[in-house]
Structure 1
Amino acid sequence: MKHFAQRWVSAIVDWRRVVSLRYLPQFAVDWFTFRRQAGDWVVKAADSYPCLADRLPTTPFDPHYFYQGNWLARRLARAKPAQHVDIGSSVLTMGVLSAHVPTIFVDYRPLMVRQSGLSCVAADINHLPFADRSVASLSCLHVIEHIGLGRYGDPINPDGACLAAMELQRLIGDSGTLYLSTPIGRERVCFNAHRVFSPATILSLFAQLELTRFSYVSDDGAFYDDVSPTSVPQLEYGCGFFEFQRRS
């Protein structure tokens, strides 16, 4: 019940911002100090923009998203595909990767940008606009766990993740590669945020392809590269990075 209450309260209240209010007195001291030393700079209270939640001893980051972007970039740097297709992953990651690899980015909610090397397409992951076995390099990072939960306006469908897995496999051509990440750990549905899968479940969902490489992020945010899925300890909310290939 404790975690249940925490999740519901956090959906309404940003605790990081509430806790950061303790830095308000220091903000006032810093503002007056800066104003006295500002010289020709105009410093008005009406223009103030308090960023109280950023006064931290180290730079915060999300281990899942940090490591999965790094993982994919390094894999593509080695593979050097002529073109890459991504389904719904981090737009920041895709924006950077498209500087080095021509990328088609597909999302249920269209990305309205213009950038050389990046083509944006609006589509449902369960009905992708590509021919069978036509894609040589495909990624889908931290996406399939959301499908069918309605979080992003998509239709409710308990089988959404399974259907997405079938559709992703349909696209992979002979010797083609799929880079996939998703939460791993104690299997469950955290409606309507995401699902959590065991590594074995992901392998069964993508049985048409062969696993060629596996890495993961543990509950404490540590990254384990190129290990066996069977070596993963019991996790609550880790992240698995699966590299699949269709053998010709």
Structure 2
Amino acid sequence: MLAKTNPSKHIDISSSLYFSAIASSFVPIEFYDYRPADIHLPNLKSAFGDLQKLPFPSESVQSLSCMHVIEHIGLGRYGDLMDYDGDLKAIKELIRVLAPAGNLFFVTPIGHKARIVFNAHRIYTKEQIVNYFDELELEEFSLISEHWEDGGIVINPNKALIERQSYGCGCFWFKKGVK
């Protein structure tokens, strides 16, 4: 999606450092994490960032990703404070900083039933995530099924396939409308 949208700069919030390092080969990346990475690459900047208080003005980020992070916020697994609604606060921050016409690439566990696996992570339903990001437009939804026989990444999966998931990987591409 980054290659497809081709931003002049991309900001990643706490996703895998591997992703940011590799993607920085074709787009400048700023990687923000509670634990900044000590890595030095020409197109990669790493700095401290708290997902519940992002260091950006409102509506200032054109290209943003947060992959496999939200499900951990507020559960204390990574030394963060316990906060049952920590994930929802972090989602509001992502929406706040996303610029009009900006792209958000968001990845989180998806299943047929929402639940918290304490203190590891949350699993959401697709509908929950779409509702949490109701201020944004869903451009595309893809699923990486937990069942290998489903064939890797399935773009716009049917409801039956989503309902088969206990711990699938939901990949959302959201866009903020222009006012």
So what's the TM-score if we normalise by structure 1?
A: 0.68
SS state of the match for residue 225, structure 1? Answer: strand
CA distance in 1, matches of 2:6, 2:122: 32
Per the TM alignment, residue 228 of structure 1 is displaced from its structure 2 partner at its CA by 5.0
* The one of 11, 15, 18 aligned to 1:92: 18
Q: Which amino acid aligns with 2:121?
A: H
State the match for 1:215 in structure 2: 142
Q: How does 1:91-170 map to 2 (within 5 A)?
A: 91-170=17-96
Instruction: Return structure 1 stretches of 4+ with deviation > 6 angstroms.
Output: none
Identity in percent: 41
Consecutive unaligned residues of structure 1, counting only runs of 5 or more, are: 1-74
SS state of the match for residue 155, structure 2? Answer: coil
Q: Which amino acid aligns with 1:174?
A: P
CA distance in 1, matches of 2:155, 2:176: 19
Q: Which amino acid aligns with 2:81?
A: P
In the alignment of these two chains, the number of paired residues is 174
Per the TM alignment, residue 123 of structure 1 is displaced from its structure 2 partner at its CA by 1.6
Task: Spell out, residue by residue over 1:93-133, the C-alpha distance to the aligned partner (whole angstroms, 9 max, x if none).
Answer: 11010111000000111111111110111121000000000
Task: Spell out, residue by residue over 1:61-110, the C-alpha distance to the aligned partner (whole angstroms, 9 max, x if none).
Answer: xxxxxxxxxxxxxx111111000000011111110101110000001111
CA distance in 1, matches of 2:85, 2:140: 26
Q: Which amino acid aligns with 2:110?
A: I
Q: 1:216 to 1:191 in 2, by over 3 A?
A: same
Per the TM alignment, residue 229 of structure 1 is displaced from its structure 2 partner at its CA by 6.7
The answer to whether the Cα contact below 8 Å between 1:199 and 1:229 also exists between their aligned partners in 2 is no
SS state of the match for residue 244, structure 1? Answer: strand
CA distance in 1, matches of 2:70, 2:144: 17
Q: Which has the higher helix share?
A: 1
The answer to whether the Cα contact below 8 Å between 1:215 and 1:223 also exists between their aligned partners in 2 is no
Consecutive unaligned residues of structure 2, counting only runs of 5 or more, are: none
RMSD: 1.2
State the match for 2:156 in structure 1: 227
* The one of 82, 94, 112 aligned to 2:8: 82
State the match for 1:179 in structure 2: 105
Task: Spell out, residue by residue over 1:133-172, the C-alpha distance to the aligned partner (whole angstroms, 9 max, x if none).
Answer: 0001000011100000111111110001101110000011
Per the TM alignment, residue 247 of structure 1 is displaced from its structure 2 partner at its CA by 1.5
So what's the TM-score if we normalise by structure 2?
A: 0.93
Q: Which amino acid aligns with 2:154?
A: D
SS state of the match for residue 124, structure 1? Answer: coil
Larger Cα-atom Rg: 1
Q: Which has the higher strand share?
A: 2
